[in-house]
Structure 1
Amino acid sequence: MQRYSRIAIFLHWAIAALLAFQIAVGWALEDLGARGFAVFQLHKSIGISILGLTLARIVVRYWKPRPAPVEGGWQGALAKAVHAGLYLFMLGAPLTGWALVSTAKVKVPTLIFGTVPLPHLPLPMSANDPASAAHAVLAWIGIALLALHVAGALRHHFLMRDGLLWRMMPARSPLWLVALPTLIAVGFLLGRAILPASASKAMPQAMAVPSAPTAAEEEAPATVANVLGTDVPGNTENAAVPSEADNAVAAGEPVGPPSSWAVQPGGTIGFSVGNGGETISGGFSRWTAKIAMDPDHPDSADIRVEIDLASASVGDSYKDGMLAGDEFFGVAAHPKAVFTAKGAERTGANSYRASGTLTLKGVSKPQSIRFSLSGPGKTRRVSGSATIARAPFGVGNGESGAGLDPKVAVHFGFSAKAE
């Protein structure tokens, strides 16, 4: 039986193994969380590789003679249709993925295998949703076509016994018959193996896009502007915050040391940034604060808030990976943002402003936050906000941040208990 050329055989099995890898990875991409950035980059690199190999396969298909069809009638027509569909899939899936990346709200630079830069396609932002839908549909169509292709090959080789598989083997040997199809299984298993162990776990709620502010939060004097960028003090699990100390403190009575406040579980800290008329929102899941304050004497406040920048998330693993990079938070060199303030001032009933210093990416700048207290007794609700200029801290300083608004809005809310 006439065989395909050796180069056609190589391209066939190489593309098959890479497709198996892509399918294994693609199923889990949306659940990877912040650690999925490197996997996304590899997924893009493999996709572009498949595109290049498919174009080479088309050239070889018309350059080198290929075996004649072994079956006519409707079965032969079906086989041709499946082949044509597979070529459309192998071209369309990488192209729609490329379009998807090129029209994303935040431009994510793509380096093929970390080396060769891939330019963005000159497409309008409005193409993003159609590209996303087409990419997803093509993936499922491709899986169905691959299943039909494999079923047809097995039918011919083992049921009809016409030796069809030998046409796609370098030699008529059982070793090739086992080794080459095994490459597909290896590709799939490698795709599963590189996924983080927690890929199937849901992202903690605190890392997801923060919920709308509560009524108490809306009372905060500062508004939450539209901006992405960085950090501001808020606390989520282990903070300390002020509550109105005893109202019984008489005027002129000596003021003792201010109370320390422990933040209760369930708090949130979120940020948002405008991006071309839309808003990107996110939050931090890990941060701590040490706060002492007598609300009747706000000048006694002593506040220190530390934010773990690696915990930042906008609910998209692709963008989350970028946040840790040098263009945004530079987590490797500067893992934390720190806000400190000595003293605060009253701005209204139960409303305050604390002016201090924010340190981010090795840069320290003056920064103020506004917050309000509500509730009776020793447990109070704290809510507040701040607006931060990201340029002085070098946040969003590259191509990826070019379309972002210049200021970052941060809002926080939590309950605090007097210690």
Structure 2
Amino acid sequence: MQRYSRIAIFLHWAIAALLAFQISVGWALEDLGARGFALFQLHKSIGMTILALTLARIAIRYWKPRPAPVEGGWQGALAKAVHGGLYLFMIGAPLTGWALVSTAKVKVPTLIFGVVPLPHLPLPMGAHALAEGGHSLLAWIGIALFALHVAGALRHHFLMGDGLLWRMMPVRSPLLLIALPALILVALGLGRMILPAPAPKAAAAPAALAPVEEAEIPANVAVAAENAASAASPAEADNAAAVEEPAPPPSWAVQPGGTIGFAVGNGGETISGSFAKWTAKIVMDPDHPESATIRVEIDLASASVGDSYKDGMLAGDEFFGVAAHPRAVFTAKGAERTGANSYRAAGTLSLKGATKAQSIRFTLSGSGKTRKVTGSASIARASFGVGNGESSTAIDPKVAVNFTFDAKAE
């Protein structure tokens, strides 16, 4: 039986293994969020490799003679249709993926295997939905065609006994007959093995704020007070005891369901997202806001704008640099009243290794031990090195942060 050329055989099995890997990884990418950023980059690199190898395979088809078809009729027509569909898939899927990345609001740079930069296609952002839908549809069609192609080859070789698989073997070797198809299974398994471990399940109330301990009295103040008390006359001590000390400000526990969100302009559009994990310690008497002590910690890895590509970009060094700086911390001592139920707290924000002055504004509604808190802040991202790359040039310099939650006094 006439065989394909050795180069055609090599390209066939190389593309088949890469496709199997892509299917295995791509199946889980959408559920990984920021944890899958590195895999998204690898997915794009392999996709472009498949495109290049497919174009080479098409050129080889016209350069090297191919074996004649082994079956005619409707079965032969179906086989040709499956082959044609596979070529369209192997070209269309990488191109729609390329278009998808090129039309995203946040331009995520692509380096093929971390070395060769891939420029973005000059497409309008309005084409993003079409590219995303086309890429997803082609993926499912490709999986179906891949399965039909494998089933057809096995039918010919084992059920019809015409030895069709030998045409795709460089030599007639039973070992190769097992080893080369086994590459497909190895690629499928490898794709599953390199997926990140499942993210830990969030607690029942991930945004609940931990109660704050009472503020410690500085040691020098405590010693001075003790000395003054010991030196006072009995009469002065009796008078001091008669004076009632003011009650300490209450600590507040934030209830489940609170949110911290952010929004920033990008080339005439707005990118909005939120942080899924954050904790805080708050002490404050609303009638005496100068008593406030506020500390909020945000898990930057939990940032999401609802798109896995962009979430991975947020975690990278260009934006939050989560690997080196996993948390942002805002602290403030004291607040001032700016209206009937509105306040301003001036403090500091530590983000991505920098600590800068930062203020927040908030309002309280409700009464007694239950209050609803709504507030906002405007953060100059460049002061913290957030958005310091080429993909950030169209992003506005100020990021609007908003928060809302219910709190109960303890």
Q: TM-score, structure 1 length as denominator?
A: 0.85
Displacement of 1:255: 4.3
* 2:254 counterpart (263, 271, 274): 263
Structure-2 separation of matches of 1:409 and 1:416:
23
State the partner residue of 1:327. 318
- SS of aligned partner of 1:122: coil
- Any conservation in 2 of the 1:239–1:262 contact (CA below 8 Å)? yes
Structure-1 separation of matches of 2:373 and 2:163:
75
- SS of aligned partner of 1:375: strand
AA paired with 1:401?
S
Between Structure 1 and Structure 2, how many residues are aligned? 380
State the partner residue of 2:378. 387
AA paired with 2:386?
V
AA paired with 1:111?
L
State the partner residue of 1:318. 309
CA offsets 1:376-399 (integer angstroms, 9 cap, x no match) = 322222221111121222111212
Displacement of 1:365: 2.2
Structure 1: unaligned runs, 5 residues or longer: 207-234, 242-252
- SS of aligned partner of 2:378: strand
CA offsets 1:144-197 (integer angstroms, 9 cap, x no match) = 222222222122212222111100011112211111111111111111122223
State the partner residue of 2:124. 124
- Any conservation in 2 of the 1:239–1:264 contact (CA below 8 Å)? no
- SS of aligned partner of 1:127: helix
Change (3 A) 1:362 1:40: same
State the partner residue of 1:83. 83
State the partner residue of 2:191. 191
Displacement of 1:240: 5.0
Structure-2 separation of matches of 1:110 and 1:202:
31
Structure-1 separation of matches of 2:86 and 2:22:
15
- SS of aligned partner of 1:66: coil
Structure-1 separation of matches of 2:325 and 2:155:
59
- Any conservation in 2 of the 1:350–1:374 contact (CA below 8 Å)? yes
Change (3 A) 1:352 1:297: same
Change (3 A) 1:135 1:326: same
State the partner residue of 1:246. none
Structure-1 separation of matches of 2:203 and 2:90:
35
- SS of aligned partner of 2:273: strand
Displacement of 1:113: 1.5
AA paired with 1:184?
I
Change (3 A) 1:72 1:203: farther
The worse-fitting range, judged by mean Cα deviation, of 84-93 and 313-322 is 313-322
| Bigger Rg, which one | 2
AA paired with 2:208?
E
State the partner residue of 1:15. 15
**Bigger relative contact order, structure 1 or 2 (CA pairs below 8 A, ≥6 apart):** 1
- Any conservation in 2 of the 1:236–1:269 contact (CA below 8 Å)? no
CA offsets 1:355-405 (integer angstroms, 9 cap, x no match) = 122222222222111111122322222221111121222111212222222
Structure-2 separation of matches of 1:358 and 1:17:
49
- Any conservation in 1 of the 2:294–2:333 contact (CA below 8 Å)? yes
AA paired with 2:159?
L
State the partner residue of 2:367. 376
- Pairing 1:97–2:97 present: yes
State the partner residue of 1:237. 208
Displacement of 1:203: 8.4
Structure-2 separation of matches of 1:383 and 1:240:
19
- Any conservation in 2 of the 1:268–1:412 contact (CA below 8 Å)? yes
CA offsets 1:292-316 (integer angstroms, 9 cap, x no match) = 2111111121222222222222222
AA paired with 1:311?
S
Change (3 A) 1:97 1:205: farther
Identity of aligned residues (%): 81
State the partner residue of 2:47. 47
Structure-2 separation of matches of 1:18 and 1:414:
48
- Any conservation in 1 of the 2:208–2:253 contact (CA below 8 Å)? no
Question: If each structure's helix is expressed as a fraction of its own residues, which one has the higher value?
Answer: 2
Structure-2 separation of matches of 1:404 and 1:259:
41
- Any conservation in 2 of the 1:379–1:415 contact (CA below 8 Å)? yes
AA paired with 2:263?
S
Change (3 A) 1:41 1:205: farther
Structure-1 separation of matches of 2:325 and 2:278:
15
AA paired with 2:129?
D
AA paired with 1:416?
A
State the partner residue of 1:37. 37
Q: How does 1:293-308 map to 2 (within 5 A)?
A: 293-308=284-299
Q: How does 1:61-80 map to 2 (within 5 A)?
A: 61-80=61-80
- SS of aligned partner of 2:331: strand
